[in-house]
Structure formats: structure tokens, C-alpha cells
């Protein structure tokens, strides 16, 4: 999570994600939100999947660690990719409570509706001591 937070801090909208090989524990890719480029789908998780795809990485061998709970778009992309596990810091509910625009639907709800194969392991609220400050700061700027 500290690596994902470092990545998030490089972005205008502080969302970051890293990809970890579940066998070796090696961090193999990182990405940040880049929607200011004009691509509304350029969330950290989608950017991460794109980076992984260009390198031919197999998602069932990888876990995604994201600073915030994947939105429904990213959740769908992660499920379609067949990622093994997802860990996230700040929840969508918390982002919504902070007044940040969000599609407030839990990742687990979306995963429950998937028939794409084994659902990823999910851990939420990971290191929110590191991730919540990103969004508290963002909320102050957004107001």
C-alpha cells in the first residue's frame, strides 16, 4: 500500500494502484489516475490493467492493491481480467461521505454478480491510515 500511495501522490486525482505477483510477492507494475488527459476511463486500476496487458502478464497470478475501493467500472475490468486478489484502502462509502463524486457500490456486490470464474479474494480498509488522508485532502480541494 505504501507504493500505491506514492503512486497516487503523483496524480492530480490521488488514486494509485500496484500489481503484485502472488507467487513471488514482486511488485510488477504501478499506475495512477490520469483522467485529466481527457480519458474518463483512465482510473488507476484500468491504467494498471492496460500496462499489464502490454507486458503479457497473466492476471490470475496477480493481486491489485489500490488506494481506494475500485469503482464499478474498475471492478468490472478487474473481474473481466481475472485478477486473483484485490486489496484496497479507502472505501467508496467513505469517499462518498467525504463529498467526493463517486458511484457508491461495494466491490463485493459487483463481484457477487459475476460468473466469470473464481471471484478474487478481497480485503478492504487496508492501511486507511495511509489512504484516508489522500481523500480528506482531496475533499478539501474539491469544495
Roughly how many angstroms between the first and final C-alpha of the chain, as a whole number? 27
Q: Establish if 43 lies at the interface with Zn ion (CB under 5 A).
A: yes
Using CB under 5 A as the binding criterion, the count of chain residues that bind Zn ion stands at 4
- Spatial distance between the Cα atoms of 96 and 63, rounded to a whole number of angstroms: 25
Q: Return the residue of 11, 71, 79, 134 that touches Zn ion, per CB under 5 A.
A: 71
Instruction: Provide the annotated active-site residues.
Output: 45
Kind plus residue range of the DSSP H or E element containing 128: helix 128-142
Instruction: Assess contact for 110 and 75: CB atoms under 8 A.
Output: yes
* Distance (Å, whole) CA 130 – CA 80: 28
Does 74 contact Zn ion by CB under 5 A?
yes
Only segment of 35-43, 59-67, 80-88, 132-140 that touches Zn ion (CB under 5 A): 35-43
Q: 18 or 74, CB closer to Zn ion?
A: 74
The two beta strands, 62-68 and 27-32, are unpaired
- Stretch of 60-68, 70-78, 99-107, 114-122 lying at the interface with Zn ion (CB under 5 A): 70-78
Binding site for Zn ion (CB under 5 A): 43, 71, 73-74
Amino acid at each position: 500500500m505504501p507504493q500505491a500511495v506514492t503512486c497516487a501522490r503523483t496524480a492530480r486525482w490521488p488514486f494509485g494502484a500496484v500489481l503484485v505477483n502472488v507467487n513471488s510477492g514482486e511488485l510488477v507494475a504501478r499506475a495512477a489516475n490520469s483522467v485529466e488527459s481527457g480519458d474518463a476511463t483512465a482510473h488507476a486500476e484500468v491504467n494498471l490493467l492496460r500496462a499489464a496487458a502490454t507486458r503479457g502478464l497473466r492476471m490470475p497470478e496477480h493481486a491489485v492493491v489500490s488506494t481506494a475501493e475500485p469503482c464499478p467500472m474498475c471492478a468490472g475490468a478487474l473481474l473481466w481480467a481475472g485478477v486473483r486478489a484485490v486489496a484496497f484502502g479507502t472505501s467508496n462509502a467513505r469517499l462518498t461521505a467525504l463529498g467526493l463524486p463517486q458511484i457508491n457500490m461495494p466491490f463485493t456486490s459487483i463481484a457477487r454478480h459475476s460468473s466469470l470464474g473464481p471471484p478474487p479474494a478481497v480485503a478492504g480498509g487496508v492501511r486507511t491510515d495511509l489512504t484516508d488522508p489522500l481523500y480528506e485532502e482531496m475533499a478539501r480541494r474539491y469544495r
